[in-house]
């Protein structure tokens, strides 16, 4: 085998290992997000509603209207809060915030059923 082919093969193995073992640290766990939601969020957002501000609910239409229809946007508001919404970055880990955000998006797509 030529040196060029050997180096190419080694690079492909290294790239393959990097892709296999270098997965993103945060992969959302919707089941965990559901548990977090029921403990931390359902008091104000039962069934995706909002007992404080009706228009700021977690239904898909409202999430889109308010630019909150991505995990990143929801994670940011969960972590940092906004207006009447409390910040949870001191109470929840990054993983928990991502999990609950993924759960909210999943439920919004299912119309909270």
Q: Which of 95, 94, 99, 112 is nearest to 33 (CA)?
A: 99
pTM over 0.85: no
- Reduced to 3 states, what is the DSSP secondary structure of residue 35? helix
Evaluate whether 96 touches 39 at the Cβ level (below 8 Å): no
What pLDDT, in 10s, does the model give residues 53-105? Answer: 988 999 999 999 999 999 999 999 999 999 999 999 999 999 999 999 999 99
Q: What is the pLDDT of residue 55?
A: 86
Query: Using one digit for the tens of pLDDT, what is the confidence trace for 33-53?
Result: 999 999 999 999 999 999 999
Using DSSP's 3-state secondary structure scheme, residue 83 falls into: coil
Q: Determine, yes or no, domain membership for 19.
A: no
Domain that holds residue 40: 30-109
Kindly state whether residue 60 falls inside one of the protein's structural domains. Answer: yes
Q: Does a structural domain hold residue 16?
A: no
Q: How confident is the model at residue 8 (pLDDT cuts 50, 70, 90)?
A: low
Cβ burial of 46 (10 Å; 0-12, 13-18, 19+) is middle
Residue 8, in any domain of the structure: no
The answer as to whether 78 is a domain residue is: yes
Number of domains in the chain: 1
- Whether 58 is covered by a domain: the verdict is yes
CATH number of the structural domain spanning residue 97: 1.10.760.10
- Domain annotation covers residue 4: no
Q: Which pLDDT score, from 0 to 100, does residue 12 have?
A: 57
pLDDT bucket at 6, cuts 50 / 70 / 90: low
**pLDDT confidence of 25, banded at 50, 70, 90?**
very low
Residue with tokens 């501000």: 53
């Amino acid at each position: 085998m030529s040196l060029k082919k050997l180096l190419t093969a080694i690079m492909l193995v290294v790239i393959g290992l990097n892709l296999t073992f270098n997965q993103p640290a945060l992969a959302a766990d919707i089941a965990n997000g559901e548990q977090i939601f029921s403990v931390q969020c359902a008091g104000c957002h039962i069934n995706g509603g909002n007992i404080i501000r009706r228009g700021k609910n977690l239904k898909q239409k409202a999430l889109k209207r308010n630019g909150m229809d991505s995990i990143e946007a929801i994670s940011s508001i969960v972590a940092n809060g906004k207006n009447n919404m409390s910040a949870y970055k001191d109470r929840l880990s990054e993983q928990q915030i991502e999990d609950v955000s993924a759960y909210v998006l999943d439920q919004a797509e299912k119309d909270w059923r």
